[in-house]
Chains A and B, each alone.
Chain A
Amino acid sequence: MDTIIRPTSRAPERGGPAQPLLLATGLRKHFPIPGGILGRATRVVRAVDDLTLSVAKGETLGVVGESGCGKSTVARLLIRLIKPDLGSVVLDGDPVEEPHGITVSELRRQVQMVFQDSYASLNPRLTIVETIAFAPRAHGLPATEAKDRARDLLAKVGLEPNTFAERYPHELSGGQRQRVNIARALALRPRLVILDEAVSALDKSVEAQVLNMLVDLKEELGLTYLFISHDLNVVQYLSDRVMVMYLGKIVEIGGVEAIYGNPQHPYTRALLSARPSMDPRKRTQEAPIQGDPPNPIDPPSGCRFRTRCPFAEDVCARLEPPLADAGPQAVACHMRVPGSGHSKAA
């Protein structure tokens, strides 16, 4: 079996198309809040709590949720920029940082990430070509080859190499910089690209161009995307499956038609009804949910959405709803669990 992956080539396909490319099980990250005597953490922010997700080969999994629901933490956990407190990540059958598994460095060769802030994610002291060539160089590709690859990638993301290669980030527009960031993420020939609000900071026309480019690149390079966004329309356009998060938990996950066509969880419904419509007759009459999400330092007991849920009952405070299959999607709501004790349970 070919175990040495040259940085020049892409990691070989393993386990077959049915095996998930990425499988994260029971991921948990609680950030301690320094305080108390001698800086000991007395309380924690429950950013991500026992989250399990899988990304199939070749699909785009969209992740939506309000600010602070743990979307970005999930991205950083998957690529190990943050070490999880609990849980495992398995990349195409290979557990990460476990006996008989792969190292974090090998994980990062196959999983790459595009950040939201296009300016902060480029080193102001390096030229564009140096930025893109950095990762292949660090993995042992000779300098000239790495530069050639960087120029190829620039052309691929729609930036003329002769014009842009030797420029500095401050000489580029936001859209151009985000194209550079995408090229940088592709430089190691990854299999999975995590796009963490990658188009959110761009204005609409540029956003559309970059989105179309992402679709083309995915087809051309056989990529898999984990697409994180708070923009429901963009997620609908790009995703095959959608995962809805609330306070560090998955509330609903399923195919894009199922989630957008027949949302089951009250939170998903509220989110979808809150999005602006192009139809002037479909005017949003009142706010579907009120207030801010509760503090993740002390999340509500039972169902975390119950404090803002119009259907909350006693059972919601007592028991945490499991993520259970409900037709084509999986939902974490007592109303969808027969015999849960909720009056609306089937």
Chain B
Amino acid sequence: MAIQSPSIDMTPGAAVMATPASASRGYWQSVRRRLRRDPVTVVCGVILLLIVLSALFAPWLGLPDPYKTSMIYRLKPIGTPRFLLGSDELGRDMLARLVYGGRLSLAMGVTPVVCALLIGGSLGITAGFLGGRVNMLIMRVMDVFYAFPSVLLAISLSGAMGAGASNTLLALTLVFIPPICRVSESVTTQVRGFDFVDAAKASGAGTLTVVRVHVLGNVLGPILVYATSLISVATILAAGLSFLGLGVKPPEPEWGLMLSTLRQAIYVNPVLAALPGVMIFITSLCFNLMSDGLRAAMDVKA
């Protein structure tokens, strides 16, 4: 292949030609490239992927029945034959329950954040883009929700609506709408002030087109990063609600609930009792580090 020498354009109209410094690259492509070079993010991503995949494909992994109890094999330590990670207070296989528990726990972590992202994100972008009275109305309503501590709000909501997975999801969604709305509002307000939004408006395009083409692309990044960091909080909150008996009901396997039911075993077999907590810890830590990595990768200007 021939090496191309930088050509100088001699046509009269062509002026101030800089030779391209680097090959043109899309923004998301360069973000992906930077993400791949970040070892922490890659490791966290792999761990999360393993947890998610094992939870998704749990029935096909050849694990024992997570609901099958046994009076003989109660609270067996880790490494007992037939019980790779031991057994719980009712003699159910811990490994199976941890893997199956990931299904509910992850769903409880991700679903409320996704719902809150859709609702809070659109509210926040609307408030930020339109400004004025609309902004005032939306943000003051959010402030009312902010007045309650989030844990207390979640507890009182699930307490009022009764225990159960769907009520927990609803309560957590309500808890996460205000912070996501506030972050969306502030980044949208910032982007709205740029001249390119004015230029787009001055081109006579409709408001929705301007928002879709010029605002969304510039605000989604920071909002997504923030939402990712909330997944870990949601996982912990959901586990906490289950621990308090306000979330998932037994005998469903769920990390928070398992932590709660195993707490009597803490003097008998402390390592076993800590296992669900370790899973919560690893998952939320990975989500947090991932969101940090994402933030760093997206921070570089364009």
Contacts and interface: CB of A to CB of B under 8 A. Distances in A.
A176 B19 CA distance: 12
B302 interface: yes
Contacts of B302: 124-125, 168-170
The B interface is mostly helix, strand or loop, or mixed, namely loop
Interface residues of B, number: 31
Contacts of B204: 104-109, 135, 138-139, 188
A144 B290 CA distance: 39
A115 B13 contact: no
Contacts of B18: 172-173, 176
A150 interface: no
Contacts of B202: 79, 81, 108, 112-113
B213 A163 contact: no
Contacts of A131: 196
Contacts of A115: 195, 198-199
Interface in A192-211: 206, 209
A59 B195 CA distance: 26
Given A125-B218, A160-B9, A168-B302, A81 B21 contact: no
A72 to B, nearest CB: 11
B203 A188 contact: yes
Interface in A91-147: 104-109, 112-113, 115-117, 120-127, 131, 134-135, 138-139
Interface centre among A115, A139, A181, A187 (most CB of B within 10 A): A115
Contacts of B203: 108, 112, 134-135, 138-139, 184, 187-188
Nearest to B218: A125
A160 B19 CA distance: 11
Given A108-B204, A160-B9, A113 B24 contact: no
B16 A175 contact: yes
A205 to B, nearest CB: 9
A120 B20 contact: no
B161 interface: no
Contacts of A213: 13
Contact of B20 (A76, A167, A181, A187): A167
A171 B16 contact: no
Contact of A209 (B16, B194, B198, B199): B16
A166 interface: yes
Given A124-B301, A168-B27, A134 B194 contact: no
A155 interface: yes
B199 A113 contact: yes
A209 B302 CA distance: 28
B217 interface: yes
A158 interface: yes
A232 interface: no
B117 to A, nearest CB: 20
Contact of A121 (B17, B24, B199): B199
A11 interface: no
Given A108-B204, A115-B198, A160 B14 contact: yes
B206 A163 contact: no
A123 B214 contact: yes
Nearest to A124: B302
B193 to A, nearest CB: 9
Contacts of A109: 204
Contacts of A156: 13
B3 interface: no
B34 interface: no
A274 interface: no
B22 interface: yes
Contacts of B13: 155-156, 158, 213
B15 interface: yes
A241 to B, nearest CB: 24
A211 to B, nearest CB: 12
Interface in B1-33: 9, 13-18, 20-22, 24, 27
Interface centre among A106, A168, A181 (most CB of B within 10 A): A168
B201 interface: yes
A159 interface: yes
B200 interface: yes
Contact of A171 (B20, B195, B200, B217): B20
Given A108-B203, A124-B302, 19 more contacts: A104-B204, A105-B204, A116-B195, A121-B198, A123-B200, A123-B217, A123-B218, A124-B301, A126-B214, A135-B204, A138-B205, A158-B13, A159-B14, A163-B20, A167-B24, A171-B21, A173-B18, A187-B203, A188-B204
Interface of B: 9, 13-18, 20-22, 24, 27, 194-196, 198-206, 209, 213-214, 217-218, 301-302
21 contacts: A104-B204, A105-B204, A106-B204, A113-B199, A115-B198, A116-B195, A121-B195, A126-B213, A138-B204, A138-B206, A139-B204, A158-B15, A159-B14, A160-B14, A168-B27, A170-B301, A171-B20, A171-B24, A175-B15, A184-B203, A188-B204
Interface of A: 76, 79, 81, 104-109, 112-113, 115-117, 120-127, 131, 134-135, 138-139, 155-156, 158-160, 163, 166-173, 175-176, 181, 184, 187-188, 206, 209, 213
7 closest residue pairs by CB, A with B = A138-B205, A135-B203, A108-B204, A121-B195, A124-B302, A125-B217, A105-B204
